[in-house]
């Protein structure tokens, strides 16, 4: 049986509490720098693509994908794309504009 004094228990508790606080701060920082993909407002799944990393306020209405995307100069640009034109290709942010990648997205079976 191990016996610990009250001061040792308090010290251990403080260390565990500090570690938990650091973990919580780190988790918040990660969440702020890499937000989860946003669900489509329409309830339909958003098209696949790298645009999700640099675009915000993403919505899908019919075949119209709308978002505010970051351009190379750091400006936020409103962009709209008809995803029907992509024919299965992934969507990307091309200097603030939503565009279709040249190759269709690979399908897994």
Q: What is the pLDDT of residues 26-70, one digit of tens each?
A: 433 333 333 444 555 555 689 999 999 999 999 999 999 999 999
pLDDT value of residue 47: 92
Residues whose CB falls within 8 Å of the CB of residue 65, separated by 6 or more in sequence, listed in order: 46, 47, 58, 59, 80, 81, 82, 83, 91, 98
Residue 75 has pLDDT above 90, yes or no: yes
Q: What is the largest CA-CA distance in the chain?
A: 71
Which helix (DSSP H) or strand (DSSP E) does residue 20 occupy?
helix 6-33
Annotation: CATH topology of 50-104: HIV-inactivating Protein, Cyanovirin-n (2.30.60)
Residue 83 in tokens: 């995803």
CB-CB contact of 45 with 37 (8 Å): no
Show me where the domains of the chain are located: 1-34, 50-104
CB-CB contact of 64 with 47 (8 Å): no
């Amino acid at each position: 049986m191990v016996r610990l004094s009250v001061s040792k228990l308090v010290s251990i508790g403080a260390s565990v509490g500090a570690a938990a606080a650091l973990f919580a701060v780190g988790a918040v920082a990660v969440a702020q720098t890499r937000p989860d993909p946003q669900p489509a407002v329409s309830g339909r799944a958003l098209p696949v693509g790298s645009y999700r990393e640099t675009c915000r306020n993403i919505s899908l209405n019919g075949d119209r994908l709308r978002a505010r995307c970051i351009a190379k100069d750091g400006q936020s640009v409103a962009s709209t794309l008809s995803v029907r034109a992509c024919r299965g290709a992934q969507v990307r942010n091309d200097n603030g504009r939503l565009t279709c990648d040249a190759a269709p997205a690979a399908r897994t079976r």
